[in-house]
Structures are given as C-alpha cells and as structure tokens.
Amino acid sequence: MRVAPGALVVGKPLPWAVYDDRGNVLLKQGYVIQNDTQLEQLFERGLFHPRHYEVDIGADQDQEEEPRERNPFADYGPLLKTLSTTITHINERSPDARERLLGLARFIVRLCRQATDPCLALVHLYSVQPDAREQLLFYAILCSVVGDYMAMDEKHQTVMVAAALTGNLALQPFLDKLNRSNRRLSEDQRAILRKHPQLSAQALENAGVDNRLLLAIVMQHHEEPDGSGHPQGLRGEQIRPEARALALAERYMAMITKRPYRERLGITKARELLAGAAQADSDQAAPNALLKALTDTPPGALVRLANQEIAVVTKRPLGTSGPEAQAIISPDGYWYMSSSYRDCSHEEYAVMNIEMPDILPPMDFAVLWGYGE
C-alpha cells in the first residue's frame, strides 16, 4: 500500500518497513527520518508499506502446547490495526465487540509476559510523538507488566488491560488534534475531557461490554487519592488499585511524550515524580509496581555509557547485574554500522545518564533484540 503523506514523522521510528514499487526494502522498521528534506526525497521515490493484517487474537489459546515465540516489533503494526478495528466494533455496537476487546487484551497480556523487555522497548522507542492509538497500546503494555508485579492472575490482568485500551474511548475522535494543538482548550473540550470516563464507560456498556470490574476501572482512572480527581471525587482506598495503575501509566506516558505546547520530561525525572506519587498514595501497590517494572533504565531508553558511547537498553537489570545494552553511536558521535553488545555491569560500560533526544538515531529493532539474526 502506498504510504500516505503525514503517515511518517520526522524524528519518530518507522512503525514498519518501507518498500519501493518493486517490493524492495528501502528502510527497515526503526529507521528514523532525520529532517523534512529527507522526508520529501523519500516520498518523491514512492513509498509503500505492507498491508497490515490484524493479529490473530485467538492464537496460542491452547495452554497444553508451547506458544510460538512472538516478535513484538513485527506485531506492532498489526496490533495497532487490530486496536483500530476493535474500537470501530465497539463504537458500532457490533455483537462481537466484547469478545474482540477481551481477545486483544488477552493477546497483549501473553505477549508482554513472553517478551517483557521488547514490549517495554516499544513504549519508549515510540514515545517521542505517539498518536492516539499508540497511546492506548502503551497504556495497555504498561498495565500488563504492572499486573505481573501486582501478582494478578491472567483473567484479572486481561480485564485491566482491556480497560487501558478503552479508558479514553470517548476522546479518540479528536485526541490527535488536541495533542498537536498549542492552543488552550475550549470550554467544550474541557467538559468532554472531564466527562470522558463516564462517556467511555457508557459506550462500552452500549456495545455489550458489561464486565463490572472493567467499567469500574474506566470510571475511576482519573480519580486521585486526595479527592481532587473526577468524576466522583473518590479518595484513597475508594479507588481501585487497577484504576490507579492505569492513571499512573497515562501520567508516565504524558511526561515522556513531546507536545507542541511543552517539552517532554526525561525518564529519570518522570520516575522521580512517580516516586513522589507513591509516597502520597495510601495504597502504594500500583505506583511501586510501575517503578519496579520500569527500573532506572527501561528497555528502549537511550543511555550514555562511561566510555561516552550512546547505547539503547535492551534488557532490564536482573538481580545484582546491570542492564544490558547495544551501543549504536561512538564516543565521537558516529553511527556504528552494526551494534555492539554492552554489559552495563562493567565499569567501562556503566550507565552515566539517560538521553532524551527529540530525533532518535536510526536503529534496526529486530536485530537489536535478536529477532533479525
């Protein structure tokens, strides 16, 4: 399919491989267009991307068989397509809306359990300027991983992930426009923002999604422990921990995402603010679980090492070991032709700080995480 103008963004990794009209790969998933001139030249050549079939949300259901290894990077485009279709079925009140939503949520839970680090990498690699669908997927991934740290069973976790995918359902028609705007919100927009938990829950009920826990999470995900949230002004333990987990996932993504009206925060600063929220929360299970899931150096983060290389974190620390990374830029600022493994437990490769550039360096995600070998 021909790539539509506006589908590719300067500074943001390609969500899929790009081809010429003969089917030859021009750019791999993860390549980053560096400037407008390069983008214009690429469109002049004629760009195509693969037709995105939806993920098979019924796959790997047989627990007696070992599920095949999934590649979250290859699943990324189909996941976004499946999410779009699912939202359409909910809005159109299709008879299969409930099954589609829970099936997609179940797929994400199992994908995150099988490939936790690559899934968290998706969140951070595409966080520069995500669209509305990507935001929902990232909330779902974060909630899924947090669910493991909160010792949830798969059914409970699936419901929380389904709520993460639909908590902002009422905002989807205009969220991308809002995110791109640097103007102050109108009163009508503010009213919808404040009402969107109820509107989203109502849309789900109208579509036959009647799970009480799911609807409660959607309704409560903008409540605050001090009672300052909405729509009900709940306090402390009145708020379900799953709703707090979703609220914190949304807050974290908002902090590390670029907007026209503000710069994005660094991952380190975002973690500090999450830690502050944990201290102020009467139930610290959700914020502590998110902090543990992310670690100080989450996968997908760009880090400067002690030897002055720039590397991308591929694996979180385990026990007393440090994170693992792949060096992609030399101390002199040159891109490596191929990445080099770095064990950040070693003093020479210790992480000095996390870099947050608005334009990422080009990367081949599949190769960096071992899927392309």
310-351 pLDDT per residue, tens: 999 999 998 778 899 999 999 999 999 888 999 999 999 999
Query: Is residue 373 predicted with pLDDT exceeding 80?
Result: no
Give the angle 333-334-338 at the CA atoms, nearest 5°. Answer: 130
**pLDDT number for residue 180:** 66
302-305/25-27 β-pairing: unpaired
Are residues 78 and 31 located together in one domain of the fold? no
Residue 373 lies in a domain: no
Are residues 149 and 270 located together in one domain of the fold? yes
Query: Is residue 94 predicted with pLDDT exceeding 90?
Result: yes
**pLDDT number for residue 264:** 84
Tokens of 243: 């709703």
Residue 172 lies in a domain: yes
63 against 153, higher pLDDT: 153
Residue 61 lies in a domain: no
Query: Is residue 59 predicted with pLDDT exceeding 70?
Result: no
Are residues 81 and 174 located together in one domain of the fold? yes
Report the CATH number that the domain containing residue 128 is assigned in CATH: 1.10.3210.10
Burial of 183 (0-12, 13-18, 19+ CB in 10 A): exposed
Provide the pLDDT confidence category of residue 125 given band limits of 50, 70 and 90: very high
Asked if residues 228 and 257 have their Cβ atoms less than 8 Å apart, the reply is no
67 against 230, higher pLDDT: 230
Tokens 């300052």 identify what position? 228
Report which DSSP code applies to 336.
E
CA distance 16 to 65: 30
Mean pLDDT of 159-188: 81
CA distance 310 to 302: 7
94 against 237, higher pLDDT: 94
Query: Is residue 70 predicted with pLDDT exceeding 90?
Result: no
Provide the pLDDT confidence category of residue 68 given band limits of 50, 70 and 90: low
Least confident window among 59-63, 83-87, 205-209, 338-342: 59-63
Per the structure, how many domains does the chain have?
Answer: 3
Query: Is residue 7 predicted with pLDDT exceeding 80?
Result: no
CA distance 198 to 151: 28
Mean pLDDT of the chain: 89
Query: Is residue 63 predicted with pLDDT exceeding 60?
Result: no
Mean pLDDT of 303-315: 97
Are residues 46 and 118 located together in one domain of the fold? no
Which of 250, 277, 294 is at the close of a domain? 294
Residue 62 lies in a domain: no
Provide the pLDDT confidence category of residue 64 given band limits of 50, 70 and 90: very low
Instruction: Report CA 222 to chain centroid distance, whole Å.
Output: 19
Are residues 133 and 234 located together in one domain of the fold? yes
Are residues 23 and 143 located together in one domain of the fold? no
CA distance 64 to 178: 46
The boundaries of the domain holding residue 139 are: 72-294
Query: Is residue 43 predicted with pLDDT exceeding 90?
Result: no
**pLDDT number for residue 58:** 67
Residue 65 lies in a domain: no
CA distance 30 to 71: 14
Are residues 110 and 251 located together in one domain of the fold? yes
Query: Is residue 307 predicted with pLDDT exceeding 70?
Result: yes
Residue 66 lies in a domain: no
